[in-house]
Amino acid sequence: MSRPRLTISTFGDITIRVTPSGRFEARTRYRDWDGQTRQVQATGDTARAAERSLKSKLTTRYLQQPTNTSLTPDSSFEDLATYWLEDIDMENRISRTTRNLYERNMRTLVLPVFRSLTLREIGVRNLSR
């Protein structure tokens, strides 16, 4: 039987081991905002110090999640497209030409089909069509 899935922003059992250098390492699994479970670890001079360090690290992980909570299942697809383009602008990782191409394709190819749908209504059948 598989282990139960962690709730988002929670962690599993903490394990502590002694590293070859003599320091203590505390580890746990943490389920991030994106649904992925990741290994998180911290070290300390004592087992308790390593555990405290790990818990401190875990309390700040929620700060890494997206801050836009305006999108809901009842948001329009157009709102999602706008959010996506704004996110691309903030990351500033692609060229302006590529970003403009993405916007044009979204406006001319995708939005005409999905503009009147909410995120809740977009499913596999609509996407396949």
H/E stretch holding 91 reads: helix 77-91
- Domain annotation covers residue 106: yes
- Domain annotation covers residue 5: no
> What is the pTM assigned to this prediction?
0.51
Confidence label for 109 from pLDDT (cuts 50, 70 and 90): very high
| The pLDDT of residue 29 is above 70 | yes
Domain range enclosing 40: 15-64
Please check whether residues 55 and 94 belong to one and the same domain.
no
Distance CA 27, CA 25 (A): 7
Q: Which of these, 10, 15, 38, lies nearest to 25 by C-alpha position?
A: 15
Q: Which of these, 64, 61, 76, 70, lies nearest to 110 by C-alpha position?
A: 76
| The pLDDT of residue 3 is above 80 | no
H/E stretch holding 89 reads: helix 77-91
* Mean local confidence (pLDDT), 24-30: 95
Q: What integer pLDDT is reported at residue 99 of this predicted model?
A: 92
Confidence label for 1 from pLDDT (cuts 50, 70 and 90): low
Helices 96-105 and 77-91: angle between axes, nearest 10 degrees: 180
- Domain annotation covers residue 7: no
* Mean local confidence (pLDDT), 26-34: 88
- Domain annotation covers residue 86: yes
- Domain annotation covers residue 118: yes
What digits encode the pLDDT tens for the residues 45-90?
999 999 999 999 998 876 655 555 677 888 889 988 998 898 888 8
Q: Which of these, 56, 67, 76, 77, lies nearest to 33 by C-alpha position?
A: 67
Please check whether residues 58 and 90 belong to one and the same domain.
no
- Domain annotation covers residue 119: yes
Please check whether residues 19 and 57 belong to one and the same domain.
yes
- Domain annotation covers residue 46: yes
* Mean local confidence (pLDDT), 13-33: 93
> Structural domain tally of the chain?
2
